[in-house]
Structure 1
Amino acid sequence: MKMLRSILSAATAGALLLPVMATAASAAAAPNDTAVNATVVSSLPTTISQDTTGATTDATDAALNANCGAPFTNASVWFTYTAATDGGVVADMSASSYSGGFMVTEGDPAGGALVACGPTTVGFSTTAGQTYYVVAFSDTTTVGGQLEVTFDVAPPAPEVTLTLNPKGTAYKDGSAKLTGTYSCTNADDFFSDIEGTLTQRVGRVKISGFFFVNPLQCDGATHPWEAIVVSDTGLFRGGKGATVAFAFACGLFECSLGYTEQTVQLSTNKK
């Protein structure tokens, strides 16, 4: 009986080990687990599907992440792309089964030439002939899953122009109105704005106020803008004032800047 029990115990233990061994076998090591074996992205757009449950993380990931601050860099896998022309690339893993992010280097990742990083989607500028390495990872305790990553051409860079009317209005309550025009394209309306300062000397007092206009309408047409400026240091009056104005038009990954600086003649509105 003792012999039979031993045989049964061994058989039972073997049966218990089978699922564990099968699970370990299913989590095969990722072929692009390190940058040396990075999967080549030869053309854009390209979508790659990959099971990353067998992928690991290493010291290279940690060194790059020191400048990115992702919570985790679990199950990292590498891709490489050599740019044919100047431009930009977008990598997107939003269709994956787990939350994650990217880090991008120009040239060998061991050199630490980090050019971009971010959660879910990342964009980066490219130079013709330059090779870029992109690592995709899980940013939670989840060790991988089904990765769906798309590499595509980045949208055109935003463009913006700005003008300022040399004539403004000073009101009885001490506020001032400035006007002008702007035009912007390839930008998000709500992440684009006009802002600046109006400065005027009234006697010996320097009056300064800030203005902000948002959102903009970035459809390529020329649009008017106006801003009411108030100051905590005094009241604006009729006369000359110095204005510095900036227009920011921001797309998915970058912003463009419009700038103007000039003297504005404020006319008194007595109403």
Structure 2
Amino acid sequence: MKLRSAAALAATLLFVPFTATSASAAVPANDTFAGATVVGSLPTTIEQDTTEATTDALDASLNGMCGAPATNASVWFTYTDITGDGFLADVSASDYTAGVIVTAGDPNEGNLVACGPGQVGVRGEAGTTYSVMAFSDSAAQGGNLSMTFGELPPAPTAALTVDPRGVAYKDGTARITGTYNCTNADGFNSDVSGTLTQTVGRVKINGFFFVNPLECDGSTHTWEAFVFSENGLFSGGKAANFSVAFACGLAECAVVEASGKVQLSRNGK
């Protein structure tokens, strides 16, 4: 009898490690919005195993407005922005490719304010509570999620000028120039664009231009644009210009306008 008892005890102990390991891989408490983890202050970094996290119809509904390749292994957080200074949600340090979707208030209401891979920035009204979903944007079923809630960088700034003289070429195109300055912005998401209008006889000639990317390093840079007419040929004489610069950061864009008369020299002379 004693030998049987000892054997039974040994068999039980052999199974303990296996059982404990299996129990550690469980669906996270914040797998759905109802169990969202509350983030109290900035900066905060949360490390979490999301290998057993799931996805559901709410994820799919929100992603319909975002367009990520997938929303696998999603988990939820909430953060109340007391000051209105905004926040940065960054999952780029995770060991799988991850994305973020942010809504204002209850995500079931669909008030999407930001989404993207790696990190997003949000700035809104003071006292707003945000719902933040972190997810795998590939076929990977989660892994080690590193979720950081941090402070936003300073807001973007922009300045823009348009030179009062330009050039009208023989082929009917026009060239205009100016300067810009931008800070705290992603140059690839920043641009100078606008229109050039000139009355030639009874015809109002219209053209559009677009300059991208910009160098948002705080220095003043020159820009130039070749304007192609939609309905005629530009020629020497006065024209009217309207230009706008967008300098866009993580959470917002600085927008500045410049307009005025541009004297076009004839045939590039």
Length-normalised TM-score, structure 1: 0.81
> Which residue of the partner structure matches residue 156 of structure 2?
158
Deviates more, 1:169-178 or 1:235-244: 169-178
> Which residue of the partner structure matches residue 6 of structure 1?
none
> Which residue of the partner structure matches residue 239 of structure 2?
241
Letter in 2 for 1:240: K
> In structure 2, what is the Cα distance between the partners aligned to 1:242 and 1:249?
24
8 A Cα contact 1:85 1:126, kept in partner:
no
The partner residue of 2:143 within 142, 145, 157 is 145
What is the alpha-carbon root mean square deviation over aligned residues?
Answer: 2.7
> Which residue of the partner structure matches residue 121 of structure 1?
119
> Which residue of the partner structure matches residue 61 of structure 1?
59
Identify if the C-alpha distance between structure 1 residues 33 and 232 changes in structure 2 by more than 3 Å, giving closer, same or farther: closer
Deviates more, 1:45-54 or 1:246-255: 246-255
> In structure 1, what is the Cα distance between the partners aligned to 2:71 and 2:87?
22
> Which residue of the partner structure matches residue 5 of structure 2?
none
Length-normalised TM-score, structure 2: 0.82
1:63 aligned counterpart, secondary structure = helix
> In structure 1, what is the Cα distance between the partners aligned to 2:227 and 2:144?
53
Residue 106 of structure 1 and its aligned partner are, at CA, apart by: 1.3
2:60 aligned counterpart, secondary structure = helix
8 A Cα contact 1:89 1:126, kept in partner:
no
> In structure 2, what is the Cα distance between the partners aligned to 1:70 and 1:173?
44
Residues 191-210 of structure 1 mapped to structure 2, 5 A cutoff:
191-210=189-208
Residue 83 of structure 1 and its aligned partner are, at CA, apart by: 0.9
Residue 140 of structure 1 and its aligned partner are, at CA, apart by: 2.7
Q: Does 1:182 align with 2:163?
A: no
2:65 aligned counterpart, secondary structure = coil
1:110 aligned counterpart, secondary structure = helix
Letter in 2 for 1:184: C
> In structure 2, what is the Cα distance between the partners aligned to 1:215 and 1:118?
20
Q: Does 1:88 align with 2:86?
A: yes
Letter in 2 for 1:143: Q
Residue 20 of structure 1 and its aligned partner are, at CA, apart by: 8.2
**Size of the alignment, in residue pairs?**
256
8 A Cα contact 2:80 2:130, kept in partner:
yes
> In structure 2, what is the Cα distance between the partners aligned to 1:218 and 1:141?
36
1:126 aligned counterpart, secondary structure = coil
1:25-48 per-residue CA deviation (whole Å, 9 max, x = no partner) reads 231221222223221211211111
> Which residue of the partner structure matches residue 42 of structure 2?
44
> In structure 1, what is the Cα distance between the partners aligned to 2:268 and 2:81?
62
Deviates more, 1:226-235 or 1:43-52: 226-235
Letter in 1 for 2:182: C
Identify if the C-alpha distance between structure 1 residues 217 and 41 changes in structure 2 by more than 3 Å, giving closer, same or farther: same
Residues 2-17 of structure 1 mapped to structure 2, 5 A cutoff:
none
Residue 253 of structure 1 and its aligned partner are, at CA, apart by: 4.0
Letter in 2 for 1:123: G
Identify if the C-alpha distance between structure 1 residues 212 and 130 changes in structure 2 by more than 3 Å, giving closer, same or farther: closer
> Which residue of the partner structure matches residue 225 of structure 2?
227
Contiguous gaps of at least 5 residues in structure 1:
1-13
Residues 26-45 of structure 1 mapped to structure 2, 5 A cutoff:
26-45=24-43
1:176-228 per-residue CA deviation (whole Å, 9 max, x = no partner) reads 33233322111123432212222222223443333333333323343333333
The partner residue of 1:111 within 109, 112, 115 is 109
Deviates more, 1:212-221 or 1:122-131: 212-221
**What percent identity do the matched residue pairs reach?**
62
> In structure 1, what is the Cα distance between the partners aligned to 2:268 and 2:67?
56
> Which residue of the partner structure matches residue 256 of structure 1?
254
Identify if the C-alpha distance between structure 1 residues 181 and 33 changes in structure 2 by more than 3 Å, giving closer, same or farther: same
